[in-house]
Amino acid sequence: MAGEANIPDDATCLGCGYRLINLPTQTCPECGRAFIPGDPATFRDGTTRRPWPLRAESPPAWQIIVLPALVLLYLYGASAPGGFLASFGGTCLAPLVGMATGAWLVLDFAGRILAILADRHRALLDQGRREKAKWWRWIILPLCVAVVVSVQTHHWPLQVRFRLSQPAFDEAIVQLQNGANPRALRKRTGLFSVLYIHQYKDGATFFQTGNSGWDKAGVVHCPNGKARGQNSKRLGGKWFTEVW
């Protein structure tokens, strides 16, 4: 029998679990998956190890759900003045968990590609009906990475969130100029929650929207159109980010 002397008595198919003893060919008669008697990675032999060829497939459905969810979490963090700490109440736990999970998924994605490349010669011997290629699952991670890179280079989530909120902030400035009490304006303003309002002597007005660690983070309206700090980012018109 082909390869019979080189295959363990407890060898079973990776695809369906069929016993691979006393077979005339090196393919499973149940599902058509090929195996190589001299390569223990191509069949199960009773050990607890997980053969790497099992990773030679498209990412599972749960990853397709988790990846976009992590990216949405990332976009939310990047849309707040002061960054992730301000978005998540001054704690770094959520960003750290998200980054660790994202890094693991990227490594898993790379491992699947390497497994497919290493398994391609054996896969060509398969005689069963091939599973439909889930090609669309392979583009999810590259798209997510592209979004993250675009945020790093253009900081657009903060710009978009503030542009949608700018009319509400402009209205708050008008109310303050008309003598409104700053305490009365501590409320939902656009897509931000205003926690504190501080009016500087030079006419600038700071709206705190979060806490970046020990610092207050938010947006500031500068009547002279000039940023107050070196790390401030212009959001549009006379509005800038500020952390203090």
Using 50 as the pLDDT threshold, list the residues of the chain that sit under it.
1-5
The predicted pLDDT at position 3 comes to: 43
User: Is the pTM above the cut of 0.85?
Assistant: no
pLDDT for 1 equals 41
Helices 93-123 and 61-78: angle between axes, nearest 10 degrees: 150
pLDDT recorded at residue 2: 44
What pLDDT, in 10s, does the model give residues 97-145?
778 888 999 999 999 999 999 998 888 888 876 666 678 889 999 999 9
Pairing label, strands 234-236, 215-221 = unpaired
pLDDT of the residue at 209? 92
Secondary structure element (H or E) that encloses residue 205, with its range? strand 205-212
pLDDT at residue 51, as a whole number: 83
What sections of the chain are H helices per DSSP? 61-78, 84-87, 93-123, 135-154, 156-177
- In whole angstroms, give the CA distance from residue 116 to residue 229: 51
Residues in a beta bridge with 58: none
